[in-house]
Amino acid sequence: MRARKVELIKQKAEYQLTVDGSPFYIKGAGLELGSIQSLADYGGNAFRTWRVDNGEKSGREILDDAQHHGLMVCMGLDVARERHGFDYSDKKAVAAQLATIRKDILALKDHPALLMWGIGNELNLHHKNPKVWDAVNDISKMIHRIDPNHPTTTMLAGAEPAVIKLVSKRCPDLDLLSLQLYGDISHLPRYLTKSGYLGAYIISEWGVTGHWESPCTGWDRPFEATSSEKAKHYQQRYVDYILSDKSHCIGSFVFLWGQKQERTPTWYGMFLENGEHTESAQVMQQLWTDQRPPHPVARLIDFSINNLSSGDSIRLQSNAFCSATVKVNHSDPVSLQYRWELLKEVERQKQSDGGDFEPRPETVWQQITQGTCHPNGAESLKFKAPANGEYRLFIYVDDRHGGTATANLPLLVESLPICD
C-alpha cells in the first residue's frame, strides 16, 4: 500500500492543497456514522472524522471504505480535553497520550485515502492551561518525523483572534489551522484580519446556526430553524464565506453528514434518524456538482400551533385542545406523508456541551397523516395538550424519494389559565 503525497503549496499569495501533484480543493463533510457512499454520490470528495476508531469501524476500515468510494479522509486524532478532566501539567499522562497516538500514525500513515491529520477537536473550548498547545505541537512534530506525506492541523472552536494568535505562536509545527463556525461565520473575515493570521485554513465545521446562537423562548429553550431555512443558510454561507476566500481557504467540511441528537434530533444532521435526506443535503449536492436534484425535497413555508410560530413563546393549558398547521410547497402534495411527533425537551442537566453525547428525549406521542389537495398547501392536526412540562412538537414531511422537510416548535404546558 503506497501513501499519496499530500502537500500544502504557497504560490505568491495563494495556498493550494495538492494530492500527488494535482490540485485538491476540499468538498467535504464531517462524517462519523453517516453514509460514506452517499457523500460520494452527492459529489463530496473528502470527509473528516473526530477519532480513529468510531465505535463501529476501525481507522483502517474507515480509510478502506473511503478509498472504495473515491474519497479522502482527514483522520481525527482524539486528543484529551481539559474540560473532561485531563491535566496537561501531568507530564506522564501527556507522554502516554503521545505514545498512543504514535501507534495510530504508524498504523495508518501509508493508506492512500489519508488526506491529513486532525490533532484534537475544539481543545480551546473551556480550556485554561496553555500547555495543551505544547502537546499539540509535540504531536505534530512526531507526525512529521514519521510521516512526511501528510499535513497536520488542529480544529478550533470558533475563530477568536486571541485564540488564533495563541495557537499560531505555540504550535508552529502545524501546517494549517482548522476553524469551526456556525452562525458566527459571517464574522470570519474580520476575525482573520484582527488575528493577523496569513496562513492556510480549513473550515472544518460549519452549517446551521448553533443552538447557543439562537433566540430562545421565555423559558430559555432555543428556536430551531426549519429545514428550508437551514438550506438557505448552507447555500449563503458556503458561497459568501468559504468559496469567497480563494487565497487562504483550501476547502471545508460541512456539518453534519449524518444525524445526531444535540438539543433536538434534527438540529445539526443533514440526514434524519431513519436515513432520510433533507433539503440541505440537496443544496450541498448542487454546490459541489452544479447539478439540480431530480426530486427536490418539499419546501417548508410555515409551521404553527394555534396560529403561533417560531419566535413566539408558545404556552398551552394542560388538556386543552390545540391545532398545529404546516404549510409546504411541493410538486406532488398528495404524495406527501406527514409525521407528527411530540417529544419532551432534553432535561437541562443532560444537555451536552461541545458536541458530547446527549440522550434523545422521550417521545410522548406520534401520528401520521396523508397529504391532501388543500389549495394553500396546508395540513393540520388537532391534538390535546399533555401534562405540565416542556415539550417540542415536530413535523416531518416525507416524499416518495427518501427526502424529508422538518420543523419543530418548543412548548410550555401549564395547568393554570394563561393570562396576557
Q: Parallel, antiparallel, or unpaired for β 26-30 and 249-254?
A: parallel
Check whether residue 313 and residue 184 sit in a common domain: no
Q: What is the pLDDT of residue 373?
A: 63
- Asked if residue 407 belongs to a domain, the reply is yes
The domain boundary, picked from 257, 289, 319, lies at 257
Low-confidence ranges of the chain (pLDDT < 50): none
Question: Which position has the grid cell 434530533?
Answer: 265
Is pTM beyond 0.85? Reply is yes
CATH number at residue 110: 3.20.20.80
Tens digit of pLDDT for each residue in 347-396?
Answer: 999 998 888 899 999 999 999 999 876 667 789 999 999 999 999 999 99
Cβ atoms within 10 Å of 275's Cβ, excluding its own: 13
Tens digit of pLDDT for each residue in 275-331?
Answer: 999 999 999 999 999 999 999 999 999 999 999 999 999 999 999 999 999 999 999
Total residue length of the chain: 420
* Residue 206: C-alpha distances to residues 123, 169, 179, 202, 229 (Å): 17, 25, 9, 10, 15
Q: How is 164-178 classified by DSSP, letter by letter?
A: HHHHHHH-TT-S-EE
Check whether residue 30 and residue 159 sit in a common domain: yes
CA–chain centroid gap for 254, Å, is 6
Q: What is the pLDDT of residue 263?
A: 97
Q: What is the pLDDT of residue 418?
A: 53
Q: What is the pLDDT of residue 367?
A: 97
Check whether residue 303 and residue 252 sit in a common domain: no
* Local structure of residue 262 (DSSP, 8 states): B
Check whether residue 201 and residue 304 sit in a common domain: no
Domain extent for 183: 6-206+242-257
Q: What is the pLDDT of residue 417?
A: 60
CATH number at residue 362: 2.60.40.2550
* Residue 4: C-alpha distances to residues 149, 190, 215 (Å): 7, 35, 46
Q: What is the pLDDT of residue 388?
A: 97
